[in-house]
Amino acid sequence: MTTDLTRLTADALATKLSSGEVSSVEATQAHLDRIAAVDGAVHAFLHVASDSALAEAADIDRRRAAGEEMHPLAGVPIAIKDVIVTKGMPTTSGSKILEGWVPPYDATVMTKLRAAGLVSIGKTNMDEFAMGSSTEHSAYGPTHNPWDLERIPGGSGGGSAAAVAAFEAPFALGSDTGGSIRQPAHVTGTVGLKPTYGGVSRYGAIALASSLDQIGPVSRTVLDSALLHDVIGGHDPRDSTSLTDAWPSFAEAVRNADVAGLRIGVIKELQGDGFQPGVMERFREALALLEGAGAIITEVELPSVEHAIAAYYLIMPAEASSNLAKFDSVRFGLRVNPKGGGTVEDVMSATREQGFGAEAKRRIILGTYALSAGYYDAYYGSAQKVRTLVQRDFAAAFANADVLVSPTAPTTAFKLGEKTGDPLSMYLNDIATIPANLAGIPGISVPAGLAAEDGLPVGIQFLAPAREDARLYGVAAALEALLEQKWGHTLLSQAPDLSPSEMNATDEGAV
Amino acid sequence: MAKLMDYDRALELFEPVLGFEVHIELSTKTKMFSDAPNYFGGEPNTNITPVDLGLPGSLPVVNGQAVRYAISLGLALGCSIAPTSRFARKNYFYPDLAKNYQISQSDEPIAFAGSVEVELPNGRMFTVPIERAHMEEDAGKLTHVGGATGRIQGAEYSLVDYNRAGVPLVEIVTDIIYGAEADAPELAKAYVSTIRDIVVGLGISEARMERGNLRCDANISLRRRTPEGEPPAPLGTRTETKNVNSLRSVERAIRYEIQRQAAILDDGGTITQETRHWHEDTGQTSAGRPKSDADDYRYFPEPDLLPVVPSAELIEELRAALPEAPAIRRRRLKAEWNFTDLEFQDLTNSGLVNEVIETVAAGAAPAAARKWWTGEIARTANAQGVDATTLVTPLQVAQLVALVDAGTLTDRLARQVLEGVIAGEGTPQQVVDARGLAVVSDDGALIAAIDEALQSQPDVLAKIRDGKVQAAGAVIGAVMKAMKGQADAARVRELVLERATALPE
């Protein structure tokens, strides 16, 4: 029975919790058991909060039994990307420099989750400070893709995506600076949405690049992402970049999904060269299904997109170089005392030398250089101009289309170790996701099926104008329904079971 | 000890060129970017939030009151207020800087292009050009433990108190100031004093230099004079003197730097571009950190904050609420009070203008108010080494003046009453009552004493009767002595003349 509970969507589990058919302790225990069974192989979690999760679950059960009015999602377990600060749970952002740090405060999204009664079961793995597309830059070892443990789960939020894909949690929080929610969703057959910049508070999200970062939901179904987004979204006076808009119910947008008459603009620049045939095949098939359901498919051009990666890899490291300056051993985290002592500068240097991984150092150096006197205009200044051009391209494209569409990433999951020696090819993974961060617009990745050549998941990305996140939930939910109707099952039901017996058998070469 | 050139000689050879950066701590309730109390005394590291500590994930939020204060100050400095200004990150590593960047303003300050009218002690009016005023956050406070100097060099370890981290600051930066000439030290003092008057008038800062609420960095360079008809020499290399914690020090530090730099330049040496520390005790500056224009703070727009876009309505509202500019106010008061140039200058230099204003407002005549504040009270303050404003209140002075005006006290008695008030014995009236110091205004008691004095000095009485009125002085003195000084000498004189004729032969 416990295995069954982990197979439920968050929405279905919430229904059983509300009706009293299942307790939160049972649901939480089921997921903790699943983690114990499979996470040795997947390594989605950096920290599993068994005790506090069961205590929170028991509290929810007690309050529900006492007749207290509860949020519909109260008692549902959730996994939290380790970039989000959590009172009482260690928070490392995937870095050795924060090993063992337990924050004295909660991120605003955590406060909202707790208020809604969601049960945090642990912190998920990620590339160090969200710098990467594979989780291989985590200081604590990579996460493995549940579809093929030899492959990457995407990044930086590979832990959250893998946890959800491996049924270790019904949904999770992620963060997306250049695709860190959407690209992992693409390679793990899950759903992930990057909200409009300012739609979800960044207070308590350890900053990579402040002008690009956004927290968002990761789940197995579009509805679950919408339900979670409804909880975490909205204005936060602690985040000056948080929008003051009143947001519509995203869950409502899912339930009212309809693509009839919807103008879907196919981004000309994000297909063809460099895109895996099996990815393009699923992409075109999805478009055909949408067209069959009444959507109007057109083509749009985003000419500046070809410069987007270059601009991104100046703006992001520039902001990161400044954001990561605070990790200096003085107030929190790792402290390395050089042999024979030294000045405070020596201690800071030794700490940062030992505490940061190679990719973090690479980006700090890149960003420091881009902001230096004499180079600022050529690098950071030019990149900001490209950013403006990308925004203008989107504005023009949205004049002729309600949503835009592209494959979420050029390829399916690559093998662990395949690209770690080649940062540029790793960076190119985010070619389709980065433009949305530069423009501050929302984007969602939904499963489109498996690529014929490797049998691995493929995602499709929809983009909408800023503040139109609801539109994404509508089109994504419609496509999800069309595809599942066609397949007769969910995509993740086709993923390997990962149960211990099966894995042992594989290990022993008995298959 | 550095070699110094005679000041007048230095001025013959060189033209001093000045520039000032004045930091003002705003007296808002909370910090610039967090809701921690804006208070940095007390137990270290208690008035802090995750934001002030720069904890991972924390974000700044701009204090709206600080922005309003900065706009008011900008307007009072005659600046234009930027319709859009922006915060920027100034990146450098230092342990008192929690995030290892300071949130400041770089090329888009909230206020720019203003000027301040400054009056020098010699009566000269000088217009100081203001380049900009911008908002920023203060850093924490380091205490270096071990080592002889209290400086970081030689210290065993250092303690950091982040209570001050995030305190709102406005930094006022002048343009290059030419033409001060020999008045340069006095201009420096008068400028900082005027800035202090402005912020106190606006009520936006405690502006106590000794507490660091108002801090002045003084930039100075010397330009060699060229014979008439020749092009001017290029500007000299500047030094930036920090740690100048009183108005007097500002003046002394500038004078010292002019003499020091002149001696070096005249010997064919060069000035090192550096910060210099002012030492109050020795009256000298010492070399600090070399500073170059190439210091690279990698400024970039603070992505965690939106641009500051004050509405035109807000700016006009704040402009309408501005108090009178100090220079204009001084001109007005001088006329209203009918003071001579010298009297007003004397008052201005004493720094007690506000006290006199309040004393006059409490009913005293301006001349009397000035006389008491710059006379007896200032002398006592000087002797006790305290600020005159801490001794008595303007209301107490006005009450004292009223007692004199009413004839209850003579000037001499009033000084005794003042002494009692300063000693904490109560209001002037309470001191009068407690010490029994009032003038004897009972003519009966006076007449009895006069009669006795006249009768005991028949020769004097005879002289008075002969019309030799000057002789009355001896009797008056005896009566005043008998009355222990608590009599109005003029009244005694009247009565002496009256009794001299009234007494039987």
The pTM for the full model equals: 0.86
Considering the domain architecture, whether residues B328 and B314 belong to the same structural domain is answered as: no
Task: Mark yes or no for CB contact B305/A203 under 8 Å.
Answer: no
The last residue of one of the domains, among B435, B456, B491, is B435
CB pairs under 8 A between A and B: 99
> Measured between CB atoms, which of A103, A348, A368 is closest to B298?
A368
Which CATH number does the domain housing residue B449 bear?
1.10.10.410
Could you list the residue range(s) of the whole structural domain that residue B137 is in?
7-318
| Alpha-carbon dihedral angle through residues B109, B110, B113, B115, given to the nearest 10 degrees | -120
Greater confidence (A106 vs B454) lies with: A106
Substitution target in A200, A315, A322, A347 with the highest count of B β-carbons within 10 Å is A322
Asked whether the predicted pLDDT for residue A503 surpasses 60, the reply is no
Angle between helices A24-42 and A50-65 (to 10 degrees): 160
* Alpha-carbon span B298 to B101, nearest angstrom: 10
Residue B47 within any structural domain of the chain: yes
Contact A138, A129 (CB under 8 A): no
Q: Cβ atoms within 10 A of the Cβ of B124, count?
A: 14
Task: Mark yes or no for CB contact A240/B304 under 8 Å.
Answer: yes
Considering the domain architecture, whether residues B91 and B69 belong to the same structural domain is answered as: yes
> Measured between CB atoms, which of B55, B100, B294 is closest to A325?
B100
Considering the domain architecture, whether residues B369 and B496 belong to the same structural domain is answered as: no
What ipTM is given for this predicted complex? 0.95
Considering the domain architecture, whether residues B153 and B272 belong to the same structural domain is answered as: yes
Asked whether the predicted pLDDT for residue B87 surpasses 70, the reply is yes
Contacting B with CB below 8 Å, chain A residues are 84-85, 91, 93, 98, 101, 103-105, 107, 202-207, 209-211, 237-241, 318-319, 321-322, 325-328, 330-332, 344-345, 348, 368, 371-373, 376, 380
CATH 3.30.565.10 fits A78-306+388-507, yes or no: no
pLDDT band at A500 (very low <50, low <70, confident <90, very high): low
Task: Mark yes or no for CB contact A325/B296 under 8 Å.
Answer: no
* Alpha-carbon span A162 to A45, nearest angstrom: 9
β-strands B214-224, B239-244 pairing: antiparallel
Task: Mark yes or no for CB contact B300/A318 under 8 Å.
Answer: yes
Contact B161, B40 (CB under 8 A): yes
Task: Mark yes or no for CB contact B95/A376 under 8 Å.
Answer: no
- Indicate the average pLDDT of chain A: 95
* Alpha-carbon span B117 to B207, nearest angstrom: 19
CA distance B54 to chain A (A): 7
pLDDT band at A283 (very low <50, low <70, confident <90, very high): very high
- Which residues from chain A sit within 8 angstroms of residue B95, using beta carbons? 328, 330, 344
| Active-site choice (A156, A160, A201, A242) | A156
pLDDT tens for B13-45 read 999 999 999 999 999 999 999 999 998 778 999
Burial class (CB in 10 A: 0-12, 13-18, 19+), B1: exposed
The last residue of one of the domains, among B268, B283, B318, is B318
Encode B129-180 in three state secondary structure: EEEEEEEEECCCEEEEECCCCCCCCCCCEEEEEHHHCCCEEEEEEECCECCC
Considering the domain architecture, whether residues B73 and B207 belong to the same structural domain is answered as: yes
Burial class (CB in 10 A: 0-12, 13-18, 19+), B444: exposed
CA distance A7 to chain B (A): 33
pLDDT tens for B173-198 read 999 999 999 999 999 999 999 999 89
Considering the domain architecture, whether residues B314 and B392 belong to the same structural domain is answered as: no
A81: amino acid identity, one letter: K
Task: Mark yes or no for CB contact B298/A371 under 8 Å.
Answer: yes
Number of domains in chain B: 3
Q: Where are the domains of chain A?
A: 78-306+388-507
> Measured between CB atoms, which of A103, A210, A237 is closest to B304?
A210
Average pLDDT over residues B190-215: 92
Considering the domain architecture, whether residues B479 and B389 belong to the same structural domain is answered as: no
Distance of CA A489 to the CA centre of its chain: 24
Average pLDDT over residues A210-224: 98
Any catalytic annotation for residue A180?
yes
> Measured between CB atoms, which of B61, B93, B294 is closest to A240?
B61
Contact A371, B90 (CB under 8 A): no
Considering the domain architecture, whether residues B265 and B338 belong to the same structural domain is answered as: no
Residue B1 within any structural domain of the chain: no
Strand ranges of the sheet holding B88-91, from the earlier edge strand across to the other edge: B101-104, B88-91, B300-301
DSSP-assigned states of every residue in B262-311: HHHHHTT-----EEEEEETTTTEEEEEEE--TT-----EE-TTSPPB---
- Which residues from chain B sit within 8 angstroms of residue A126, using beta carbons? none
Considering the domain architecture, whether residues B349 and B463 belong to the same structural domain is answered as: no
Rg over alpha carbons for chain A, rounded to the nearest Å, is: 22
Q: What is the DSSP letter of A98?
A: G
pLDDT band at B326 (very low <50, low <70, confident <90, very high): confident
- Which residues from chain B sit within 8 angstroms of residue A93, using beta carbons? 56
3-state SS assignment for residue A435: helix
Buried b (16+ CB within 10 A) or exposed e, B245-274: bebebbbbbbbbbbbbbbbbbbeeeebeeb
Buried b (16+ CB within 10 A) or exposed e, A91-119: bbbbbbbbeebebebbbbbbbbbeebbbb
Residue B2 within any structural domain of the chain: no
pLDDT at A506: 44
Residue B298 within any structural domain of the chain: yes
A401 membership: H or E segment, kind and range: none
β-strands A403-407, A263-267 pairing: parallel
Nearest to A189 by CA among A132, A146, A250: A146
Considering the domain architecture, whether residues B383 and B458 belong to the same structural domain is answered as: no
pLDDT at A2: 43
Contact B121, B345 (CB under 8 A): yes
pLDDT above 70: percentage of residues in chain A? 97
Is the sign of the CA dihedral A304, A306, A311, A316 positive or negative? positive
The last residue of one of the domains, among B389, B410, B435, is B435
Considering the domain architecture, whether residues B67 and B181 belong to the same structural domain is answered as: yes
pLDDT at A505: 41
CA distance A22 to chain B (A): 36
- Which residues from chain A sit within 8 angstroms of residue B306, using beta carbons? 240-241
Residue B478 within any structural domain of the chain: yes
* Alpha-carbon span B243 to A403, nearest angstrom: 60
Task: Mark yes or no for CB contact A210/B294 under 8 Å.
Answer: no
